[in-house]
Structure 1
Amino acid sequence: MASYGRGSFEGFDSYQGASGGRESGSDFGKLSQNISSNIQKITQNVAQIQRLVAQIGTPQDSEDVRQRVHQTTHYTNQLAKETNNYLKELAHLPMPHSPSEQRQWKMQKERFTDEFSNVLKTFQTAQRTAAEKERASVQRARAHSGINQSPFQDSYEQNDTMVAPGYSQTREVLQMEQDVDLDLLREREDAIKKLEKDITDVNTIFKDLGMLVHEQGEVLDSIEANIDNAQMSVQEGTTQLSKARDYQSKARRKKCCLLIIALVVLAVVAIIIAVSQKSRRKMCILLLILLVAVTIVALIIWGATR
């Protein structure tokens, strides 16, 4: 059986290429695309791990099944680490100036964090189930072979004088089988230790995600404060504009009132003059002037109140 973690993983060459060819730039769009792609891969791998783990301890169980569990689990663990790094890069990108873009970035980050956290929980559950089944399998194999209680080699050495010559070949065959079983058990135990290490790595990623969510909460507060400030600025601008319009309207009304008062004074003076002169012609002229003046005032007031 090929040892888990030894050499390159068959069927996972695309991961190596994607990791090596990743640009160092922190562009939001590229990071978002990488995160989305990795979450999708992790989801697919977790489903495959669950199907393989379900076969452990059943008639469908085999060394090939366990090897595929180990390989897929380790590869998925590497994907999770990479995705975690992507999320950190995404969180530390300079925020755009537009409040609408800030809100869009914030929603995208939250969506990625939630999706990644959920798939990690499922992945960790599959990891623990695999480790538990592997441990139970090793314990049953050890109990069945009796390796823990009395190694075959010591038993055979103690009974060398009691074994008949005709059974020496049988003893050698049993010794070889015991050596093979012991190597297999040790290899399985090593695989279990690596599974447990991967579980620890996922726990570390969960801690990073917790810190990331906390930081995003602070950024969210800042974004909302900026949006509120922008809205307040708009409201203040609207209020100031309304006040300016009211001031202009009042100024126009004041001018109109002054003009009307002046015209009334002129009309009164004209009437007094006309009466004193007792001239109808002058009276008509003054009245005509008064009519024109009133008409002009009416037009001015109408224009001011539009």
Structure 2
Amino acid sequence: METSEISEAEFQRLAQTIATSIQKILQNVSTLQRMVNQFNTPQDSPDLKKQLHQIMTYTHQLVGDTNNLLRDLDKCKNRHLKIQRDRLVDEFTSAITAFQSVQRKTVDIEKNAVRQARANNVQLSKPPSSKPSFFEDNFITRKSSPPQQMQMQEEIDLQSLEEQERAIRELEENIVGVNEIYKKLGALVHEQGFVVDSIESSVEQTSVYVSQGTENLRKASQYRNKVRKKKLILAGILTGVLLIIILILSISWH
């Protein structure tokens, strides 16, 4: 389906919206990075992880919306706006690169935490050693608790692990989504690059024509100089012959 061309005023409105979105993405990335750095510290908590995932989900949606707006800029055909559009593409690419980096870091940390939690759950079923660990102390305490309370706690732990794993899968899907946006941006840059290459080719061809024209002018100038030189020589010869004839006639009269 044909896409309608947009005006320069609409281009500027979209460009401003995109620039604002890029700044918001970068701000969110900075916030997410601080939150990830609090993992496995006294500040770590389920609420921290929940808030982090909420911000990531919102940012992922913002990335998708911004990408769509960026593609809408191509509907404006004014060439003098290309520099502004390319700058926005570069800034957006940098922003989603930073976002994907914090996404991957979060996934790695949370996967390790889930693996460790599952490993600790297996260790709890083994007989305690002479020096019980923190998790084994918890296990001993749990063993002394009523069986119903133990079962409830185990169900809560299992549910918590499953929720973490679902959150990790969602993050991984979002990372795949950002990769798709990378591909779209790459295709967009390639299309624009093809146009630029065509323009550069035209400029080079024009340069060749100019060089050929200059060479032709130089050769014409040389030819003109040779003709002028021949005319001067011929005029000199005719003048000499005329002087000789006058001299001969003058002698004959005397």
**TM over 0.5, yes or no?**
yes
2:25 is aligned with 1:37: no
Residue 64 of structure 1: which of 34, 47, 56 is its match? 47
Counterpart position of 1:80: 63
2:26 is aligned with 1:50: no
| Structure 2, gaps ≥5 residues long | 1-5, 127-142, 211-254
Report the RMSD for the aligned CA atoms in angstroms: 3.0
- Larger deviation, residues 178-187 vs 222-231: 222-231
User: How far 1:131 sits from its partner (Å)?
Assistant: 0.6
Q: Which protein, 1 or 2, shows the higher relative CO under an 8 Å CA cutoff with sep ≥ 6?
A: 2
| One-letter code aligned to 1:51 | R
Tell me, in whole angstroms, the C-alpha distance in 1 between the residues paired with 2:145 and 2:29.
Answer: 48
| One-letter code aligned to 1:95 | K
- Larger deviation, residues 140-149 vs 202-211: 140-149
- Say whether the 8 Å CA contact 2:107–2:168 is kept in structure 1: yes
Q: Percent identity?
A: 42
Cα distance 1:226–1:106, how it changes in 2: closer, same or farther (>3 A)? Answer: farther
Counterpart position of 2:139: none
Aligned residues between the structures: 189
Tell me, in whole angstroms, the C-alpha distance in 1 between the residues paired with 2:24 and 2:207.
Answer: 41
Rg larger in structure: 1
Tell me, in whole angstroms, the C-alpha distance in 2 between the residues paired with 1:199 and 1:177.
Answer: 33
1:125-274 to structure 2, matched below 5 A, reads: 125-146=101-122, 170-222=146-198
- Say whether the 8 Å CA contact 1:142–1:148 is kept in structure 2: no
Cα distance 1:209–1:231, how it changes in 2: closer, same or farther (>3 A)? Answer: same
Tell me, in whole angstroms, the C-alpha distance in 1 between the residues paired with 2:31 and 2:117.
Answer: 26
Describe the SS at the equivalent of 2:115.
helix
User: How far 1:30 sits from its partner (Å)?
Assistant: 1.3
- Say whether the 8 Å CA contact 1:106–1:220 is kept in structure 2: no
- Say whether the 8 Å CA contact 2:11–2:76 is kept in structure 1: no
Describe the SS at the equivalent of 2:146.
helix
| One-letter code aligned to 2:45 | S
| Structure 1, gaps ≥5 residues long | 1-24, 97-101, 151-166, 236-306
